[in-house]
Amino acid sequence: MNDRLSLPSGQSSPQPPVIGKRLGKRKKMIVYEDEYEEGEVKPQDLLPLMNSNISDDDKEVNANPIGHVVRVSEEGEWVTKHFKGVETDGISYELEDTVLVSPEEYNMKPSVAIIKDIRETRDGRIMVTGRRFYRPEIAEKEDGGKWESEEERELFYSFDEIEFAAESVMHKCRVHFVPPNKTIPNVREYPGFFVEKVYDAKLKRLCGIVDVGYGDNKQHELFGLVQKTIDRIPSWPLKL
């Protein structure tokens, strides 16, 4: 059976919200087991090696652009450089990587985003724009209330953008995009989040990830994300 998706052939966005506003500080150590890939070192494995006398706010984290400049943009006389990647805390991240972003409050879960743009600001900071995922418990319904999910790993994809400082990136994570005819990937074999629906924050509605009506560019984007998951899971069981 051929699992390849047929992609259709080939807009200014509102200013994305900014999260992780505290720049240059060490990221808080927040652990969510399902968000790590097999074999990846988890923060709790490193805790015995850390000096407990050093506070989070005393540890600086620096971010530096890496790779070539992919494009430039102009705003008046200022020319902004946009980069292929960024290095922070000794780890490299590139465009299209899916990452966890440190929340502003310790008792909040990290945000999840796909990196879409990396740029240097006038004051030399490296800022990242990402495609936003919503956790069901924070996505509002049209008639009030929040969505619920039986799976803690479930996320909703969206075409919303968020902006955050590169220093706020915690680590890479995996998100599986599940078409309606496939089962949810087994967490032991394929750890990570999964997405079955797209959330429209303006209309406060959910749609399937392969539904029509998003527009050619958005539909192409969704099909590409689903195809990456299909390529990653070679023997993916069909839903009964």
pLDDT per residue of the chain (240 residues) written in tens, 0 to 9: 556 555 444 444 455 766 654 444 444 443 344 444 444 444 444 333 333 343 445 457 789 999 999 999 988 888 999 999 999 989 999 999 999 999 988 888 999 999 999 999 999 999 999 999 999 999 999 888 899 888 999 999 999 999 999 999 999 999 999 999 999 999 999 999 999 999 999 999 999 998 877 888 999 999 999 999 999 998 999 998
β pairing state of 193-200 and 154-165: parallel
Residue 115 contacts residue 97 (beta carbons within 8 Å): yes
Q: What is the pLDDT of residue 213?
A: 76
Burial class (CB in 10 A: 0-12, 13-18, 19+), 221: middle
pLDDT at 11: 45
Note the pLDDT of residue 22. 45
Cα-based distances in Å from 112 to 25, 82, 129, 171, 230: 19, 21, 12, 10, 21
At 44, give phi and psi (nearest 5°).
-65, -25
Using alpha carbons, select from 199, 204, 197 the residue that is nearest to residue 177. Answer: 197
